[in-house]
Amino acid sequence: MTQIPPEWEALMAKIQMWYDNQIYPVFSPFNLHKTRAAKARNQAKTLMPSSSAAWALLDQATKDAWKTASDFGTLNRYQLFISDYSYRWKNNLSLPGTPNAYHQLMGLRWENPDPLATCRLRRDCKDLVGPVTISFNYKKTENAPTGDLPFSFLATLYFFKDGKNQTITKTWEAGAGNKDWQIVSETFGEAGQKYFHLTILWYLDGYDATIDLDRLLVEDQAGDVYRESWQFKAGKTWDYDNLYRKEGWLFTPEYHVPYFDVVYLG
């Protein structure tokens, strides 16, 4: 039997998933998916009939709660419920799930298991007009007391005025101890002032804690600048933009488990 090198397994799983989800006949190195067989397999895999029936049984108040949960992202209330139901069914979780006004399905889980490690998360945006508002929801679970290094962020706006480059900053700190889901919203900057760059730097240096983040939103005078709900793309991965020319994400250390992961929030 051919042995697949461990470093190839993720790629092979993606390739196999692509073939498995084809509707029409297609040749592959593994087997030939014929039309009738492929349709039968897809029909067997779909959860739409059972999830649709479960949706029909919900009362109006629960459906409205799913609408509230879906307001931030691109899915409507029914689509969010179907996605949640499918995930829970595939992972042997109780059915149906409960909508949550603080998050949708997935979120960024951020941990720092090394008390000596520098652990930071940075988002950059450009070309904004003040005032600028930074909003996000978070949940914090302490694994060890923070001491004097809390979970916090420093936001910096860069602008040109009076013939020179200038900055204005905004800081925020989470309180000590465990925190159930919290809403953070901080506004700064002068109305009508043009800012060519914004950096938001979250800190978890030397702090053994687990942070769940969702519903990140950066707004300026005109409206949304950046909106992130950590939805999975094809292949069950979060597709993010690396920092380039004053836009994107920067992770310290690099994006990988156990420091950073996109997980189901339940």
The domain that holds 197 is classified in CATH as 2.60.120.1310
Question: Global pTM?
Answer: 0.78
| Shared domain check, 221 and 119 | yes
Phi first, then psi, for residue 84 (nearest 5°) are -65, -45
The predicted pLDDT at position 174 comes to: 93
Query: Would the pLDDT of 37 be above 80?
Result: no
The predicted pLDDT at position 235 comes to: 54
| Shared domain check, 111 and 95 | no
Query: Would the pLDDT of 36 be above 60?
Result: no
Dig out the tokens for 210 from the structure.
Answer: 């687990």
| Shared domain check, 94 and 127 | no
- Mean of pLDDT values over 248-255: 94
| Shared domain check, 196 and 79 | no
| Shared domain check, 129 and 83 | no
Q: pLDDT confidence of 1, banded at 50, 70, 90?
A: very low
The predicted pLDDT at position 178 comes to: 92
The predicted pLDDT at position 46 comes to: 59
Task: With respect to residue 50, please indicate whether it lies within any of the assigned structural domains.
Answer: no
| Shared domain check, 30 and 69 | no
| Shared domain check, 67 and 173 | no
- Mean of pLDDT values over 175-201: 95
| Shared domain check, 181 and 77 | no
| Shared domain check, 239 and 116 | yes
Task: With respect to residue 141, please indicate whether it lies within any of the assigned structural domains.
Answer: yes
- What distance in Å separates the CA atoms of residue 151 and residue 173, rounded to the nearest whole number? 6
The predicted pLDDT at position 234 comes to: 54
- What distance in Å separates the CA atoms of residue 191 and residue 197, rounded to the nearest whole number? 16
Number of domains in the chain: 3
Helices and strands: H and E segment counts in the chain: 5, 15
Q: In this predicted model, what pLDDT tens digit does every residue of 195-240 receive, in sequence order?
A: 999 999 999 998 889 999 999 999 999 999 999 988 876 556 788 8
Give me the chain's average pLDDT, please: 86
Per the structure, the complete domain to which residue 13 belongs is given by 1-45
| Shared domain check, 117 and 38 | no
Which residues are 155's β-sheet partners?
170, 200
